[in-house]
Structure 1
Amino acid sequence: MFETKIRKVGNSAVVTLSSEVLAAMDVKEGDSVFLARSDDGGMRLMAHNPELAAAMQAAEDVMDENRDLLQALA
């Protein structure tokens, strides 16, 4: 587990990732990452994965197209 702090930069809040974290994620400065809510209510930070990005976009498109049906089923 890695610990970091949230700090203010301009009008944004930022989280600084150490070089150890970047190496563990196999990412570097300038790379894109995903932040996703996990089933337990936490957040998960993941390295950019083009296949995951395409699958998530497809899921969003289906949910947008079927919003009324999905609400009725909920």
Structure 2
Amino acid sequence: MQHLKITAIGNSAGIILSKDILAQLGVEKGDSLSVVRTPNGIELSPYDPTFDEQMEVARGVMARYRDALRELAK
């Protein structure tokens, strides 16, 4: 397990990822990451615009069929 230190970057905060972590994520300098909250904490993964589009469609379906999904969840 690696420990990362939060550092000041202008008025924001950031972390520095080692080359090893970048390689494990399959990203390089300049790429974007997705940040997702999971039951186990925060998960970083390479940004995938297709996934974002699919999630937007899924949110619309869930909103549209909210009542039906609640009934099915019982």
TM-score, normalising length from structure 1?
Answer: 0.71
1:21 pairs with 2:21:
yes
Q: Give the aligned partner of residue 59 of structure 1.
A: 58
Q: Which one-letter code corresponds to 2:48 in the other structure?
A: N
Q: Give 1 or 2 for the bigger CA radius of gyration.
A: 2
Unaligned runs of 5+ in 2: none
Unaligned runs of 5+ in 1: none
Structure 1 consecutive aligned stretches of length 4 or more whose deviation exceeds 3 Å:
59-63
Aligned-partner SS, 1:52: helix
For residues 61 and 15 of structure 1, the distance between their equivalents in structure 2, rounded to whole angstroms, comes to 34
Count of residues in Structure 1 that have an aligned counterpart in Structure 2: 67
**For the Cα contact (< 8 Å) 1:2–1:21, is it kept in 2?**
no
Closer/same/farther in 2, CA of residues 24 and 10 from structure 1, 3 Å limit = same
Q: Give the aligned partner of residue 4 of structure 2.
A: 4
Identity %: 34
Once the two structures are TM-superposed, the CA of residue 38 in structure 1 deviates from its matched residue by 0.4
